[in-house]
Chain A
Amino acid sequence: MKKQGRGMATIMFGFGYGEGFPDHSIASVEIEDSGKILIRTAAADVGQGVLTVITQIAAEVLKVKPEIIRIIPGDTHLTKSSGSTSATRQTFFTGNAVKEASEGLLSNIYHYASIEFRSNHVELEIKDGYIFRNDNPNYRLSYWELADKVKERGDSLKAEASFFPHTDKPDPKTGQGEKLYVAYTFVTQIVDVEVDTDTGVVEILNVYTAADIGKAINPKNVEGQIEGGTVQGIGMALMEEQVIKEGITLNPNLTGYLIPTSMDTPRFVTRLVENEDSEGPFGAKGIGEPATIATTPAIANAIYDAIGVRIYHLPITPEKILKALKEKRKNK
């Protein structure tokens, strides 16, 4: 018999290394000869999209099209440390560093333009990579023309910035501390499942997600993180287990270790809660890890709702479900 159930889970995730570890990101932004604006960062894009995030941030601050932004490929000898792509920290840390560096560059643009135009800053305006005096928009300099003039003065148009927020080491006896993590992301998921009580097979039907991410720099990519994280959570809940017996891995391949396929994808409904109240760039918080956390318990709770049995040991495989159902019948 097929039985449907609904379960929910609400989670928090404190992101950044936190706990007093030195956690920072350095980025620089410069006007390049080639007609581009170059960002130097070591932030690793593992597919999550940090390079797109910082492109959007730099374009926003510098008022240029995203196509103008170029990012140097990560290289220890051409970039400074951006810390790890982990701990859900890159949008927050490198995002802030790039934002600040872009603002630094913008300030320099104003500074040198005011010399060129013999004006004060409030008389200047910027549009699409050009700077000009309000009273004479026809006489304008592109960032690149300005950069040439700056070069003649023996300087260059670039700025470096870092983001290095303080966190506290927890007290070793109690784990207490004033600021353990830079910020928290919150997610609620409600999941609908269908359990086949004859086979123990669970199908995930719908996943409703509401995520408080402060501000989505790129909503579609945030959604992509949530969908990808959720499907990994489905894997953790229902099928994934590296079996290690007496130190030997028994299933070191993708036939023995199953991960979700396209057939396991549920229907997604996602809403982003954007309070823009975080200390991240434009109020953003990270979503990478929190995207996966609520799914597993929400599924476990939905299975309980559907068939009245609770499995305490992951993954919740068909065998475990059938065994639990049998015991439940026996105990009746």
Chain B
Amino acid sequence: MKKMPKRYVGKNIFKVDAQDKVTGKAQYSDDIYFDDMLYLKIKRATYPHAYLRRIDISKAQKIPGVVKIITAADIPEVKNFGLIIKDQPVLIGIGRKMRYMGDALAIVIAESKEIASKAVKLIEVEVEKLEVISDPLRAMEKDAPLIHQDSNILATHYLEKGDVKKGFTQADVIVENEYKTSFLDQVPLQIEAGIGVFDPETEIIKLWAATQWLHDTQADVAQSLGLPKEKIRIIQPVIGGAFGKKEDISVHIHLALAAIATKRPVKFSYTREESMIAQSKRHPFIIQMKTGVTKKGYLTACQVEVIGDTGAYASSGLAVVHKGMYHCTGPYNVDNVKGVAHTVYTNNTYCGAMRGFGATQMAFAYESQMDILSHKLEIDPVQFRLQNAYNHGSSTPNGQILTHSVGVKETIKEAADMTGWKEGR
């Protein structure tokens, strides 16, 4: 089909926000200032897995310039938050558990950043330590202490297409390997920051803070505070990168509470260290993958088991881990597929979204397998991929028939062509 020539689509128009960004004019959340603004800091967990037995804010409160310190006892009505499951507390109360080092114990609001930081250090905490579960395999054991009320296995997802047993009997070569990936930080260059302002007239709390989804963040903040959605107004400043890290709540609820409590504008900027400890990571995966192929190099079966460490809270973990599994064959026709994916709580920093959402970890496994197989079969890796790659009408591991825009073979051919692949090897 011949397409009409376009004037602007398909053209390299300059980024509409670039001019503001090269001049320093673009306002990120930390760049906004109000007169009479207060600063917020958080006292965080002192142990990765422990009951909070005592919290003493008296010394901290005495420092001149400390305006307010909020602990869980001050906000009994505030509810947990979370992207898919509401399992993350806003503040840990006495008798409650801290589950990772990022958990918040107290909100300190002061006239300056320095005073707030100083006060945080003077908050005294007593805890009753519990076994720290850092290894998801330990978390899955029957006798492991529970991190939340129910099982440490937050979710198990299954995948089954065709008959893998049959598929492996059809195979001439089978390879099975275990792949592991690590915790990664998204490292958007901008650290989490925001400002909260309470408007006494409308009783609306205005938040200037980055989020990847404005209205969903608004909803989570509102439900946590028990307010109607329209009482939370979030205004999106310019965002300094995200890569998944700004899907989760960071400064938002703490800022709202501080703004309500003080009736003054409050700013909260994480440090990089705080961002790395308290905000989401990429899930480390343990992937057991078995792949079968005929002598002629046609894939017959793929079996996969995934364990994803989602850390202390669910975040988007349930979605990430099984999405990874759903991509286990890569873009190749495999009639027989079987998979199981466990999303497991530990006392590590919670894991959430990061560019590729589980599919990134999985590609390391399936494309390593493809390489191993092509060496075993002594088939050229380009040819091997081409002969297995999807066409129009192919079916994914989920049985979705691809009807549109299936350009995978073209990408293989183009990439090979760019390198002059034939002579290249």
Contact = CB atoms under 8 A, between A and B. Distances in A.
Direct contact between A and B judged by beta carbons closer than 8 A: yes
Interface of A: 6-14, 17, 19, 42, 44-47, 49, 51-52, 55-57, 59-60, 63, 66, 69, 71, 73-77, 79-87, 170, 172-181, 183-184, 186-190, 206, 208-212, 214-221, 229, 232-233, 235-236, 240-249, 252-254, 257, 259, 269, 271, 273, 275-279, 281-283, 285, 288-294, 296-298, 300-301, 304, 310, 312-315
B298 interface: no
A82 B246 CA distance: 16
Contacts of B363: 9, 11, 293-294, 296-297
B400 A46 contact: no
A218 B211 contact: no
Given A79-B214, A271-B414, A52 B330 contact: no
B405 A293 contact: no
B218 A76 contact: yes
Contacts of B421: 190
Nearest to B281: A242
B410 A247 contact: no
A87 B354 CA distance: 10
Contacts of A10: 330-331, 367, 370, 385, 389, 408, 411-412
Interface in B271-330: 272-273, 276-277, 281, 319, 322-323, 325-327, 330
Contacts of B400: 14, 177-181
Given A51-B16, A208-B418, A221-B15, A175 B160 contact: yes
Top 8 A-B residue pairs of the complex, sorted by shortest distance between their CB atoms: A247-B48, A212-B407, A74-B236, A297-B367, A84-B213, A210-B414, A175-B159, A12-B331
B13 A52 contact: yes
B151 interface: no
14 contacts: A60-B7, A75-B233, A76-B235, A83-B213, A84-B216, A212-B406, A218-B12, A218-B13, A233-B360, A247-B348, A269-B418, A277-B404, A292-B356, A300-B371
Contact of A312 (B178, B402, B408): B178
Contacts of B412: 10, 188, 210
B11 A218 contact: yes
Contacts of A87: 357
Contacts of B382: 8
B215 A81 contact: yes
B154 to A, nearest CB: 15
B416 interface: yes
Interface stretch (B30-38, B63-71, B111-119, B390-398): B390-398
Interface stretch (B86-94, B165-173, B183-191, B260-268): B183-191
Contacts of B353: 86
A47 B240 contact: yes
B283 to A, nearest CB: 11
Nearest to A276: B3
Contacts of B359: 11-14, 289, 293
A186 B408 contact: yes
A87 B247 CA distance: 11
Contacts of B12: 218-221
A188 B411 contact: yes
Given A11-B330, A11-B331, A186-B411, A275 B357 contact: no
Contacts of B132: 246-247
B425 interface: yes
B232 interface: yes
B376 interface: no
Given A181-B400, A252-B273, A275 B364 contact: no
A66 B49 contact: no
Contact of A249 (B187, B276, B326): B276
B212 interface: yes
Contact of A8 (B47, B134, B322, B415): B415
Contacts of A210: 410-415, 418
B399 interface: yes
Contacts of B239: 44-47
A46 B184 contact: no
B181 interface: yes
Nearest to A308: B375
Contacts of A304: 371
B140 interface: no
Nearest to A301: B371
B371 A176 contact: no
Contact of B349 (A46, A186, A249): A249
B234 interface: yes
B101 interface: yes
B39 interface: no
A312 to B, nearest CB: 5
B232 A76 contact: yes
A184 B405 CA distance: 8
Given A66-B16, A248-B101, A175 B339 contact: yes
B76 interface: no
Contacts of A181: 400
